[in-house]
Amino acid sequence: MADVAERANVSMITVSRVIRTPDKVASETRARVQSAIKDLGYVPNEGAGDLSSQQNRTVGALIPTLTGSAFTSTIDGLSTRLRLAQHQLLFACTDYSSDKEEDFIATMLRRRPAGLVLTSGTHTRETKALLDHCGIPVVEVWELPEVSAHHAVGFSNHDAGFAMVEYLYGLSYQRIGFIGNALTSNRSQQRLYGYEAACRQYGNGQIRRISDNKKGPNNSRRGAQEFEALLAKWPDTDAVFCASDTLALGALSQAKRMGLSVPEDIAVAGFGDFEFSDEYGLDLTTVRVPGFQIGEFAAQLILNQDGLARHVPQKIDVGYEIVRRRTA
């Protein structure tokens, strides 16, 4: 900063004002300082600024994966809203591991972030202790836990799963299977429970799914494998509900390899409304969730830490929508 001030022939305080409140500096002086910053390749030391102001403008976020992820839109919404408030986003992937989540949270807390955004409501005992005593806002997204000590922005995965299967029964499908590993996350488990509840209410109560044996990603490979195994066990299945659009991609690909027509021979529905799911891609019937809006709300809860928001956990239900397309 001293080098910039010397080149622009101004004080270091003026350089600081140009960086933080440029509208309060005369245009000619501001242009001279900005030119010096550019020429010298100067990058402000935010760490030093945070220490002096006792404010950290970094927000940490943890997501399970970026591969075929429903969370990319949420990260986009989160980072967009934080940028408007001159905050930065630092995020990491946990690979659905509670131990990795614990390590990442401990690492992030050493940086004293302005807040944390988590995509899992299930934590190790040590992680719960860290979160309970961290002294910063914590927001859990994509779920709405019944009881939580933290903010939550999401929807009922159970009700969304139920609604999709109810929709399929409404189209006269009667032998509906479920594809997805419920051990992977609480979200997948709740979608399974919603599927089971709808089968009990509208069908004969028969549950058609391949049992989980261990945690693993709900990717297209699993979708294809479970689709094939499910039809081998119940060949008269007339529809499948997949816990994610990525699983549905695998199911659709496997149906094609098996010579089946969708939806004439079997209907396929997904969850998430990923970019490849629209009418220009898979044309997939799915559950649409406002992921970008979830990220925006999460950022706002961290930024608005005054009064009630600081002491009382807030719960925001963004809802969901059944999107009807060609596959069902």
Q: Does 283 share its domain with 298? A: no
* Residue at 72 is within a domain: yes
* Residue at 67 is within a domain: yes
Q: Which residue has the tokens 């933080």?
A: 20
pLDDT in tens, 89-124: 998 998 888 889 999 999 988 888 999 999 877 788
Q: 205: domain CATH number?
A: 3.40.50.2300
Question: Got the DSSP string for 185-215?
Answer: -HHHHHHHHHHHHHHHHHS-S--EEPPP-S-
| Verdict on whether the full-model pTM lies above 0.85 | no
Q: What is the pLDDT of residue 311?
A: 61
* Residue at 325 is within a domain: no
* Residue at 52 is within a domain: no
| Domain total of the chain | 3
Q: Does 242 share its domain with 133? A: no
Q: Does 68 share its domain with 150? A: yes
Q: Does 133 share its domain with 251? A: no
Band of residue 48 on the pLDDT scale cut at 50, 70, 90: low
Residue 15 is part of which domain span? 2-44
Q: What is the pLDDT of residue 308?
A: 44
Q: Does 208 share its domain with 314? A: no
Closest CA to 286 of 275, 273, 295: 273
**Mean pLDDT value across residues 255-269:** 98
Q: Does 77 share its domain with 139? A: yes
* Residue at 50 is within a domain: no
Q: Does 282 share its domain with 169? A: yes
Q: Is the pLDDT of residue 49 over 60?
A: no
**Mean pLDDT value across residues 51-59:** 68
Q: What is the pLDDT of residue 310?
A: 53
pLDDT in tens, 181-229: 988 888 999 999 999 999 999 988 889 999 887 777 789 999 999 999 9
* Residue at 280 is within a domain: yes
Q: Does 102 share its domain with 165? A: no
Percent of all residues in the chain with a pLDDT value above 90, rounded to a whole number = 65
pLDDT in tens, 70-89: 788 999 999 999 999 999 99
* Residue at 327 is within a domain: no
Among 47-51, 146-150, 268-272, the range scoring the smallest mean pLDDT is 47-51
Question: Got the DSSP string for 252-305?
Answer: HHHHHHTT--TTTT-EEE-SB--GGGSTTTT--BEEE--HHHHHHHHHHHHH--
Q: Does 205 share its domain with 259? A: yes
Q: Does 186 share its domain with 231? A: yes
Q: What is the pLDDT of residue 261?
A: 97
Q: Does 215 share its domain with 263? A: yes
The residues, any chain, with a CB within 8 Å of residue 79's CB and separated by 6 or more, are: 89, 295
Percent of all residues in the chain with a pLDDT value above 70, rounded to a whole number = 94
Q: Does 183 share its domain with 166? A: yes
